[in-house]
Amino acid sequence: MLRQGFLAVRSRLTAGDLRETAEALAVRALELPELAQARTVAAYVSMGSEPGTRALLDALHARGVRVLLPVLMADNDLDWGAYTGEGSLTRVQHGGRMALLEPAGERLGPESVQEADAVLLPGLAVDRRGLRLGRGGGSYDRVLARLERAGADPALVVLLYDTEVVEDVPRDPHDRPVHAVVTPSGVRRFR
């Protein structure tokens, strides 16, 4: 029910709200030292009413940052591909579930995320401890577990709307806290 509540609020956002928020998020995120110094960033292409990432992806690419984007596999795990600009994306229908924009080029393997200096994570909320509430598919939980097993320690950053920074979200044993949340009004760090 918590997820449905956040999604319901997002569904009421206008196209103008989404555009304005995406621009503010890009400005805030690009100010992060973790992104300013990154050579490789694993990110995602926002869809629907998610906080917008396209301006941020383009700005990182223009800076010469290698941007990795996820490719959803049949088992809900994520492979990765390089973002080389808007023309490098293709719409992929995943069964009866959803259509996603994914990199059209070579697949780099699930382990390629370990090369990232920063990982931008989607979410529905984050709490005061830095625990992220995702959509419930487990794709990014697998990514975070993969990073931990490999001893990789990239900056973990979630992009959200201001109202999605909350006091508490439910915690599962496999949950890993993020290092920071970026909202249109600012940045909050957790470690």
Binding residues for ATP: 132-140
Tell me how far apart the alpha carbons of residues 62 and 164 are, in angstroms, rounded to a whole number: 29
What dihedral angle (degrees, nearest 10) is formed by the CA atoms of 40, 41, 47, 53? Answer: -100
Q: How far is CA 106 from the centre of its chain?
A: 21
Report the binding-site residues for substrate: 45, 50
Residue 102 has a CB neighbour count (10 Å cut-off) of 24
Report the binding-site residues: 45, 50, 132-140
Residue 19 has a CB neighbour count (10 Å cut-off) of 12
Q: What are phi and psi of 54, to 5 degrees?
A: -60, -45
Report the first-to-last Cα separation within the chain, whole angstroms: 29
Element spanning 73, H or E: none
Q: How far is CA 93 from the centre of its chain?
A: 19
